[in-house]
Amino acid sequence: MGKKQVRAIFPGSFDPITNGHLDVIQRAVGLFDEVIVAVGRSPHKNQLFSPSECVTMIEELIKDMPGVSVESFDGLMVEYAATRGATLVLRGLRSLTDVQYEFQLAMTNRAVAGIETLFVMTSEKYGFVSSTLIREVASLGGDLSNLIPENVQTRLKERFGR
């Protein structure tokens, strides 16, 4: 019997992508045959960058990562995952606060669509970083060079006119 191919979806708004997200993607390369970074629109978040802008930033960062691609999607993530033939959802955990929400989401995804979720802890050095925090600090002109990739920092400075 041959080895089963595992295609994982790493969904999020990635608005913007952080070094914490990149850390999870880089570790996923060694775990799965294929990883699709799936950029979705969050109806509950006031997005700074459009999904297509986020896809462009991520494309620049993953170009040398084998088996990793990025796409945007609309609607339910589990429906998108099914259309892409993904058998697993990858989620990064930063802290205990994330666990309760992510656990509930994973249980719902499994009940609704039969898709499993695998959690990967982000590196300790990025455990406090969120896209929301990044947007707030950037809007106030703070130095984010150790928390986000250079291409993201450049776009944030352009967006906030700095």
Residues designated as active site: 21, 45, 94, 131
Q: Cα–Cα distance between 110 and 118 in angstroms, integer?
A: 12
**31: helix, strand or coil:** coil
Provide the b/e sequence for 81-97 (b: ≥16 CB within 10 Å): beebebbbbbbbbbeee
H or E stretch including 91?
strand 88-93
Contacts (Cβ under 8 Å, ≥6 apart) of 154: none
